Amino acid sequence: MRKSDVVWHNFEVTREMRNRLNNHKSIAVWFTGLPASGKSTLAHATEKRLYELGIRTYTLDGDNIRHGLCSDLGFSKEERDEHLRRIAEVIKLFIDAGIVVLAAFVSPLKEQREKVKSIIGKKDFLEIYCRCPVEICESRDPKGMYKKAILGEIKEYTGISSPYEEPENPDLVLDTHLLSVEESVERVVSLIKKRML
């Protein structure tokens, strides 16, 4: 089938209608940072707090997505690009459904994050940089991946054998080695509330 044979179908229920029903706007909150910098912890803790406030949410986590939607992808530059492209397209659907999406992905390169932002749309995208020194991430190493990367058992591991480019103008920087989870969550929730007004 050719792409020209696929026709877009317009919906009768719009994003704006769903947002009114939910009593809040939908948005993507993108947590980026080195592995073990606290992205997933903060995304899930933020989701719990938003849920308590009556906000409809869903968390997309890098490892979880690789069990299903992206189970066919590895970790080469090209495969990471495709992994993030798929995530961005899924997030667009969630935003259209009126959901606040919390996304925790290393997304190590600036060009990758810019591509994600362009797919989702800048006005619907909040970038949270979970900043943490690589030495502390290594000491945390909850999955033992840094150890494997240092031993050469894992190739192209971000922070060890593959680069991480710090965001230049994130919406929020959280020094996750200095702030408690609770302090970080309050800052994220405050930012989300401001964007939703």
Domain total for the chain?
Answer: 1
Stated pTM of the model: 0.90
Domain of 142: which CATH number?
3.40.50.300
What does the radius of gyration of the chain's CA atoms come to, in whole angstroms?
17
Domain range enclosing 184: 3-196
Provide the sign of the torsion angle of the four alpha carbons 92, 168, 43, 66, taken in this order: positive
User: Which amino acid type is present at position 42?
Assistant: L
- Give residue 161's pLDDT: 80
Q: What is the pLDDT of residues 80-136, one digit of tens each?
A: 899 999 999 999 999 999 999 999 999 999 999 999 999 999 999 999 999 999 999
- Give residue 197's pLDDT: 63
User: Which amino acid type is present at position 59?
Assistant: T
Q: What whole-number distance in Å separates Cα of residue 123 and Cα of residue 151?
A: 42
Q: What whole-number distance in Å separates Cα of residue 113 and Cα of residue 97?
A: 22
- Give residue 6's pLDDT: 75
* Degrees to nearest 5, angle at CA 73 with 72 and 78: 145
Catalytic residues: 107
Which residues in the chain come in under a pLDDT of 70?
1-3, 197
Partners of 175 in the β-ladder: 131
